[in-house]
């Protein structure tokens, strides 16, 4: 299990700014039968752990001054909209005897003949899949081999995925995970997307013009009242 060091957090509200200045990230831990408590973790160390664990692998949380290590999952991260830096973390302390539901990333590997030889474009309908399992059985990722996509009619379905033992998919078996689109289909989808974008822009421009007209009318009325 991947380990992460943490410290109990005593600063809250505006005082958390000093924590962030010291390259620490404020966080909270909660879970079934667990009283919420606040901690802080070192920014650089957390980045390393997140790259390895993601949001679907158990982490062994070691809190300074406490002997008991806590099994947690990264449940949610808040990011600064400008810098994209993580500014707060929610850790979920899991009960190892109870199943949890998480989204596991899909990693596509291999080469699709329909893409390579027929000029198609790989279409990934899913980038992650929701699964259910005991916390200790959760996979970090699920690999999807695309070698079987030889024609534009071929699909990889949820039921085709190779899941680890004791891990159950929460998606319907017949849902499409990946396929290869023919060149013409890709062009049509791009054309549709461009058309929709143009229509959206035209709508915004029209609304703006209408707002300007209304504003001008109001301004004219004000001027008329002044002249009276």
Strands 86-93 and 24-31: parallel
Task: Indicate whether 156 and 201 sit together in one domain.
Answer: no
Task: Indicate whether 190 and 175 sit together in one domain.
Answer: no
Task: Indicate whether 79 and 111 sit together in one domain.
Answer: no
| 192 token code pair | 């549709």
Task: Indicate whether 85 and 104 sit together in one domain.
Answer: no
Task: Indicate whether 57 and 126 sit together in one domain.
Answer: no
Residue 96 CA to residue 53 CA, distance in Å, equals 17
Total tally of structural domains belonging to the chain: 3
Which residues face 92 on adjacent strands? 30, 73
pTM score > 0.75 for this model? Answer: no
Give the rounded distance of the alpha carbon of 41 from its chain centre: 21
Domain limit, last residue, from 61, 93, 125:
93
Instruction: Output the CA torsion 110→132→135→99 (10° steps).
Output: -170
Average pLDDT over residues 110-118: 95
Strands 70-79 and 59-63: antiparallel
Q: Specify the higher pLDDT residue, 64 or 14.
A: 64
Task: Indicate whether 123 and 153 sit together in one domain.
Answer: yes
Sign of CA dihedral 192, 193, 195, 199: positive
For residue 10, give the CATH number of its domain. 2.40.240.10
The pLDDT score that the predictor gives to residue 217 is 46
For residue 133, give the CATH number of its domain. 2.170.120.20
- State the residue for tokens 């990946």: 178
Average pLDDT over residues 58-80: 93
The pLDDT score that the predictor gives to residue 127 is 97
Domain limit, last residue, from 93, 117, 133:
93
Domain that holds residue 108: 100-181
Task: Indicate whether 109 and 86 sit together in one domain.
Answer: no
Task: Indicate whether 114 and 175 sit together in one domain.
Answer: yes
The pLDDT score that the predictor gives to residue 220 is 47
Task: List pLDDT tens digits, range 159-208.
Answer: 999 999 999 999 999 999 999 999 876 556 666 766 666 656 666 556 65
Mean model confidence pLDDT for the chain? 85
Task: Indicate whether 127 and 147 sit together in one domain.
Answer: yes
């Amino acid at each position: 299990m991947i380990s992460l060091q943490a410290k109990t957090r005593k600063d809250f509200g505006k005082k958390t700014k000093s924590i962030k200045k010291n390259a620490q990230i404020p966080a909270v831990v909660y879970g079934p039968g667990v009283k919420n408590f606040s901690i802080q973790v070192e920014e650089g160390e957390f980045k390393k752990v997140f790259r390895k664990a993601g949001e679907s692998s158990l982490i062994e949380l070691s809190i300074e001054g406490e002997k008991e290590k806590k099994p947690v999952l990264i449940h949610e991260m808040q990011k600064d909209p400008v810098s994209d830096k993580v500014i707060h973390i929610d850790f979920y302390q899991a009960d190892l005897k109870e199943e949890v539901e998480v989204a596991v990333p899909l990693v596509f590997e291999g080469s699709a003949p329909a893409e390579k030889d027929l000029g198609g474009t790989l279409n990934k309908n899913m980038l992650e899949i929701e699964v259910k399992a005991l916390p200790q059985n959760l996979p970090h990722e699920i690999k999807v081999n695309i070698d079987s996509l030889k024609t534009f009619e071929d699909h990889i379905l949820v039921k085709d995925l190779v899941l680890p033992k004791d891990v159950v998919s929460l998606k319907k078996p017949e849902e499409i995970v990946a396929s290869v689109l023919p060149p013409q289909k890709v062009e049509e989808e791009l054309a549709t997307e461009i058309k929709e974008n143009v229509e959206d822009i035209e709508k915004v421009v029209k609304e703006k013009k209408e707002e300007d007209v209304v504003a001008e009318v109001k301004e004219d009325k004000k001027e008329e009242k002044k002249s009276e």
